[in-house]
Structure 1
Amino acid sequence: MKFLSFAPLSLVLMSADLYAAQTVMDDQSELKTQAVAAGHTSYFQPPAEHELSDNAFGKLVRQGHSLFVDTRRQAPAYVGNGLNCSNCHLDQGRLPNSAPLWGAYPMYPAYRKKNDKVNTFAERLQGCFQFSMNGKPPPADGPEITALSAYAYWLATKAPLGVESPGRGYPEVTQPAKGYDLAQGAQVYKAQCAICHGDTGQGQKVGQDYVMPPLWGKDSYNWGAGMHRINTAASFIQYNMPLGKGKSLNDQQAWDVAAFINSHERPQDPRLIDGSIEKTRVKFHANDGVNLYGQTVDGVLIGQGIR
């Protein structure tokens, strides 16, 4: 597996205007989520597996669960990298503050700024395949989307409809006043992340299957995925990483290591316009949170993609 190398890392500060807060009218799918205070127990509790009926619906839900945790092997026609849905939505899509399915399903249909339209939940899943999985969208009425939708619906049983449930997404981690530092992020990565994800972000494999996901390179999420945003990655990292030790990194460390990870090349944004990184940045990335796509860092243009 080959990875692009980069010039020495330096301090990069992003201006606050690139990280303007989105309102509900801007994007209903990206509402800022607040974490529940430590010790609070009011997170929604999805149903347990033993509560699932042994009928046609239960069979479909189980198929959706299987696809969710083993996406790459069970939907190879639609997955173009080494990831599964459960890599970003932990504990089989159940874990609060890890974009759990029970928090997402009741919020759709919703307007998404990303594609400037009201999306159904099926379309939201299709987007995950296209960007996070660097693949192609399964048919909205096909067996994959149907099964995954059934699994999400079942996890959301009795969840409030259209209500911003605590723990729904990745709780916002405010950008530190000094911005972020890629060199410090490299040190955090070496100390906290490399043991699972590898020195070069390559992940870990057993045979042909990843047991720890790659964070950059050809088998990771592409430049169109939400996780390429440094603010999104920082939120996920602080609340969920290192695995089983969420909240052990402070805000600065989370932003630094998120920036370090997202300063490395990955598959190209499938929305690339006329082969131009500049045009693609202006249309899709300039106002999409904090990200490095189309920026030059230490003389290296970020966003060239893996060829």
Structure 2
Amino acid sequence: MKQLPFLLLGALMLTACSRPATEAPVAAKPASTASVASVSSKSKAAPAFTPPAEADIPEGPLGDEIRLGRAIFTDTPTQAHDYVGNGLSCSNCHLDAGRLADSAPLWGAWGMYPQYRKKNGRVNSFGERLQGCFRFSMNGKAPPLDSDTIVALESYAWWMSKGAPNGVKLAGAGYPKQGFKPPQPPDYARGATVYAKDCALCHGDDGQGQQVNGRNVFPPLWGPQSFNWGAGMHELDNAAAFIKANMPLSRGGTLSDQDAWDVAMYMDAHERPQDPRYAGDVAATRAKYHDTPMSLYGTTVNGHLLGSGAAK
């Protein structure tokens, strides 16, 4: 296959890095109740939002369901083992149990659904969006919409978002991608240098992360236990924005824009599990699902056709 231009010749270190299980959670803004900052009608700035404190989860059956959702979110392989295909948890990419701004917090997503998603060409409910996470990021299978797993996760997201306006994009929602461009095209070799300096300590020289008692404290970034080629984190802009805002862990914002793009390229130029939409042909799968310069799937990097099978 024809190799793409140098812009795509690197691989993003999609540092989908979770906080270690033994580390204290990232502190959220102190609040006993959710709050939304008022914004002038003339202002184009997105409103700020502070999610409710964990201590405010109510007692009773509803609170039990919310707490179950939080448990699934922070330890997905244990709590939703029937639906996962790797060792990742939701909180590996949505930090601080889905609370942290600029790491796709739950409170920034709940109020934006239902919405049309180009990824599957139809309007999705929030539950369907969660199903996609299991299929792609967890490399597993979608829990039924009426399953305990989906209902608990929806309950947790609903509670986390109490007080937030519906249909309004909040400051800190998603990953901060707007206007985030690399000064130079991302470069694999530069990314390898950044990875060795700023990422390997946690994620390992081989990108396979670290485990304690069989549980990820730092997640694998590529290989058979990482997210698959259908996950949003395999796209360079998503990975670079996440890395810039959140990595290295507890030192988000310290990498330069160029370093974030380069290391994202380095990570995403490694093999990972196949896109579950694959129908036997890498080129056809790229043409149908990955026809964007942000995806390295179906391109050749260092002599290897990405998507053709696991390679170190």
Tell me which interval the TM-score lies in, with the shorter structure as reference length. 0.7 to 0.9
Q: For residue 174 of structure 2, what is the aligned residue in structure 1? A: 169
One-letter amino acid of the structure 1 residue matched with residue 295 of structure 2: N
Q: Take 1:127 and 1:71, find their aligned partners in 2: how far apart are those partners?
A: 14
Q: For residue 126 of structure 2, what is the aligned residue in structure 1? A: 121
Report the alpha carbon displacement of residue 210 of structure 1 after superposing the two structures with TM.
1.1
Whether the 8 Å CA contact 1:131–1:225 is kept in 2: the answer is yes
One-letter amino acid of the structure 1 residue matched with residue 121 of structure 2: D
One-letter amino acid of the structure 1 residue matched with residue 301 of structure 2: V
Report the alpha carbon displacement of residue 177 of structure 1 after superposing the two structures with TM.
4.0
Q: For residue 211 of structure 1, what is the aligned residue in structure 2? A: 217
After superposition, give the CA deviation of every residue in 1:49-77 in whole Å (9 maximum; x if it has no partner).
Answer: 22221111111000000000000111111
Q: For residue 180 of structure 1, what is the aligned residue in structure 2? A: 186
After superposition, give the CA deviation of every residue in 1:215-253 in whole Å (9 maximum; x if it has no partner).
Answer: 001000000000000110000000000000011011100
Q: Find the residue that maps to 1:227 and give its secondary structure.
A: helix
One-letter amino acid of the structure 2 residue matched with residue 257 of structure 1: V
Q: For residue 142 of structure 2, what is the aligned residue in structure 1? A: 137
One-letter amino acid of the structure 2 residue matched with residue 306 of structure 1: A
One-letter amino acid of the structure 2 residue matched with residue 297 of structure 1: V
Q: Take 2:310 and 2:80, find their aligned partners in 1: how far apart are those partners?
A: 22
Q: Take 1:300 and 1:52, find their aligned partners in 2: how far apart are those partners?
A: 49
One-letter amino acid of the structure 2 residue matched with residue 250 of structure 1: S
Report the alpha carbon displacement of residue 291 of structure 1 after superposing the two structures with TM.
1.5
Q: Find the residue that maps to 1:77 and give its secondary structure.
A: helix
Q: Find the residue that maps to 1:118 and give its secondary structure.
A: strand
Q: For residue 298 of structure 2, what is the aligned residue in structure 1? A: 294
Moved over 2 A (4+): none
Report the alpha carbon displacement of residue 286 of structure 1 after superposing the two structures with TM.
0.6
Q: For residue 35 of structure 1, what is the aligned residue in structure 2? A: none
- Structure 1 residues 255 and 277: alpha-carbon distance in aligned structure 2, compared to 1, 3 A threshold: same
Q: Take 1:178 and 1:206, find their aligned partners in 2: how far apart are those partners?
A: 38
Whether the 8 Å CA contact 1:43–1:96 is kept in 2: the answer is no
Q: Take 1:116 and 1:236, find their aligned partners in 2: how far apart are those partners?
A: 25
Which of 74, 89, 98 aligns to 1:93? It is 98
Q: Take 1:189 and 1:69, find their aligned partners in 2: how far apart are those partners?
A: 26
Map 1:278-293 → 2, pairs under 5 A? 278-287=283-292, 290-293=294-297
Q: For residue 67 of structure 2, what is the aligned residue in structure 1? A: 62
Which of 74, 82, 104 aligns to 1:77? It is 82
Q: Take 1:291 and 1:139, find their aligned partners in 2: how far apart are those partners?
A: 29
Q: For residue 244 of structure 2, what is the aligned residue in structure 1? A: 238
Report the alpha carbon displacement of residue 303 of structure 1 after superposing the two structures with TM.
1.3
Q: Take 2:142 and 2:309, find their aligned partners in 1: how far apart are those partners?
A: 20
What's the C-alpha RMSD, in Å, of the aligned pairs? 1.9
Q: For residue 5 of structure 1, what is the aligned residue in structure 2? A: none
Q: Take 2:173 and 2:95, find their aligned partners in 1: how far apart are those partners?
A: 12
Q: Take 2:94 and 2:282, find their aligned partners in 1: how far apart are those partners?
A: 29
Q: Take 2:302 and 2:209, find their aligned partners in 1: how far apart are those partners?
A: 26
After superposition, give the CA deviation of every residue in 1:6-42 in whole Å (9 maximum; x if it has no partner).
Answer: xxxxx92149xxxxxxxxxxxxxxxxxxxxxxxx9x6
Q: Find the residue that maps to 2:248 and give its secondary structure.
A: coil
Map 1:263-282 → 2, pairs under 5 A? 263-273=269-279, 275-282=280-287
One-letter amino acid of the structure 1 residue matched with residue 248 of structure 2: P
Whether the 8 Å CA contact 1:71–1:85 is kept in 2: the answer is yes
- TM-score (structure 2 length as normaliser): 0.84
Q: For residue 12 of structure 1, what is the aligned residue in structure 2? A: 6
Q: Structure 1, unaligned stretches of length 5 or more?
A: 1-10, 16-39
Q: Find the residue that maps to 1:257 and give its secondary structure.
A: helix
Among the aligned pairs, what percent are the same residue? 55
Which of 248, 253, 258 aligns to 2:254? It is 248
Report the alpha carbon displacement of residue 304 of structure 1 after superposing the two structures with TM.
1.7
Q: Structure 2, unaligned stretches of length 5 or more?
A: 10-44
Q: Take 2:123 and 2:57, find their aligned partners in 1: how far apart are those partners?
A: 31
Q: Find the residue that maps to 1:246 and give its secondary structure.
A: coil
Q: Take 1:291 and 1:187, find their aligned partners in 2: how far apart are those partners?
A: 21
Q: Take 1:169 and 1:294, find their aligned partners in 2: how far apart are those partners?
A: 26
Whether the 8 Å CA contact 2:8–2:296 is kept in 1: the answer is no
